[in-house]
Amino acid sequence: MEYRKLRVMISGGGTGGHIFPAVSIADALKRANPESEILFVGAEGRMEMQKVPAAGYRIVGLPVAGLQRKLTLHNIAENLRLPFRLLASLRKAGGLIREFRPDVVVGVGGYASAPLLWQASRRHIPTLIQEQNGFAGLTNRILSKKAGVICVAYDGMERFFPADKIVFTGNPIRSDIHPYSPEDRAEGLAHYGFGPGRRQLLVVGGSLGSRTLNRSMMAWIEAGCPGGEDVQVLWQCGSYYEKEVDAFMESHPDKRIRHSSFISRMDLAYAMSDVIISRSGASSISEICAAGKAAVFVPSPNVAEDHQTHNAMALVRHGAAVMVRDADALQELLPTAMELIHDPERIAEMERNVSPLARRDAAQAIAEEVYALLG
């Protein structure tokens, strides 16, 4: 098939879980035709404004923001500003569309998707939505009425979207995430400064971090790492909690534990790990499936429609993961992980069950849907 040059706007962001899949889609479109022009639209002040240019693409920010669910005086004030931010974002999105003149607009979720896709639909520009989660959010459900194609990663999404628009593609992941060899494991251990011969735990709370996962880790360390005498840990604490965790580890040094606000070589982190503790955002789930790893998921309660629980349960039902409720994590998370990491037969069973759930060609499949949408 010959792929023509396109002008594509891709919107979304706010977390790495939206940014990295969006970049994967852009990469697939550029592979199809290197002359295609791609413009990202994100949210001002969010991490996509740095991560997207680092991947080689241009991005413009909108003054949009999400609803703050925790009721503090600061958050209430921010929520009162939302209508004004939305109006300003709609105006700016309309101007960007007039200037860039896209052939198609792709929305991957996050704050910036709604203004851009709404303005594109008003102008009868074809739109494609990529819904990452097993429980669709309200914004995508509204936008789906005008979208041409809705790419999904879970079965049963007819509950939320018109069935004739749904295409099962899976979630895009980074190309370096795949099943790993013993040589890859050795490279990962060397890269992160760990010795061989021990069990390896990876703790990832997302690019911004997870208070629950961090507090659970700190409580476990304060208790003397029970059950973890032969376990080494790579711990991504996230940018929001970097100073807090730095200070904690200074007062609780342990050579078996390495912590960082962000892990740039996730491929090597996955490669060396026996068990992963993670939130259950859609991208994290997809990467862990592609890596073929056993995981303990702690769904975030601070997300719309409790969609992370739906994501995690899709794996739990297949015997491919374990889930611990956020409210139970402080007492149960690390004991659950220690029990699993010392049960190689169960790890092997979970690895066998999780690998078939991976969809490693999702970005290419979505790129092909973009071209099919345009005819």
- Residue 112 scores a pLDDT above 90: no
Average of pLDDT values for 168-192? Answer: 92
Evaluate whether 6 touches 370 at the Cβ level (below 8 Å): yes
Average of pLDDT values for 354-371? Answer: 93
- Residue 311 scores a pLDDT above 70: yes
Residue 221, both tokens: 């360390």
Question: What is the side-by-side strand order in the sheet with 231-236?
Answer: 257-260, 231-236, 199-204, 275-278, 294-297, 322-323
Q: How far is CA 100 from CA 4, 59, 64, 143, in A?
A: 17, 12, 20, 21
Residue 66, both tokens: 């999400």
Q: Check if 7-172+360-374 and 182-357 are the same fold.
A: yes
| pLDDT of res. 68 | 62
| pLDDT of res. 39 | 98
Give the whole-angstrom CA distance, residue 367 versus residue 105: 12
Residue extents of the structural domains in the chain: 7-172+360-374, 182-357
Which tops the pLDDT comparison, 175 or 199?
Answer: 199
| pLDDT of res. 66 | 65
Give the whole-angstrom CA distance, residue 40 versus residue 63: 14
pLDDT-derived band at 317 (thresholds 50, 70, 90) equals very high
- Across the chain, mean pLDDT equals 92
Which tops the pLDDT comparison, 196 or 73?
Answer: 196
Q: What is the DSSP string of 297-310?
A: E---SSSGGGHHHH
pLDDT-derived band at 174 (thresholds 50, 70, 90) equals confident
- Residue 14 scores a pLDDT above 70: no
Give the whole-angstrom CA distance, residue 211 versus residue 279: 11
Please name the fold of domain 7-172+360-374. Answer: Rossmann fold (3.40.50)
- Residue 340 scores a pLDDT above 90: yes
Residue from 289, 370, 279 nearest 4 by CA: 370
Give the whole-angstrom CA distance, residue 166 versus residue 354: 24
Please name the fold of domain 182-357. Answer: Rossmann fold (3.40.50)
Residue 325, both tokens: 């409720």
pLDDT digits (tens, 9 = 90+) for 200-237: 999 998 777 899 999 999 999 999 999 999 999 999 99
Query: Token match 């939302």: residue?
Result: 82
- Residue 65 scores a pLDDT above 80: no
148-171 b/e with 16+ CB inside 10 Å = b?
Answer: bbbbbbbeebeebbeeebbeebbb
Q: What is the DSSP string of 320-343?
A: S-EE--GGGHHHHHHHHHHHHHT-
Give 103's Cβ-side CA count (13 Å radius): 15
Give the whole-angstrom CA distance, residue 187 versus residue 176: 14
Give the whole-angstrom CA distance, residue 25 versus residue 362: 8
Evaluate whether 366 touches 25 at the Cβ level (below 8 Å): yes
Residue 352, both tokens: 């066998």
Give the whole-angstrom CA distance, residue 317 versus residue 295: 13
- Ordered alpha helix ranges (H), the chain: 16-32, 48-54, 73-100, 113-122, 138-143, 182-191, 211-222, 242-251, 266-272, 282-291, 307-316, 329-341, 344-354, 362-374
Evaluate whether 315 touches 321 at the Cβ level (below 8 Å): yes
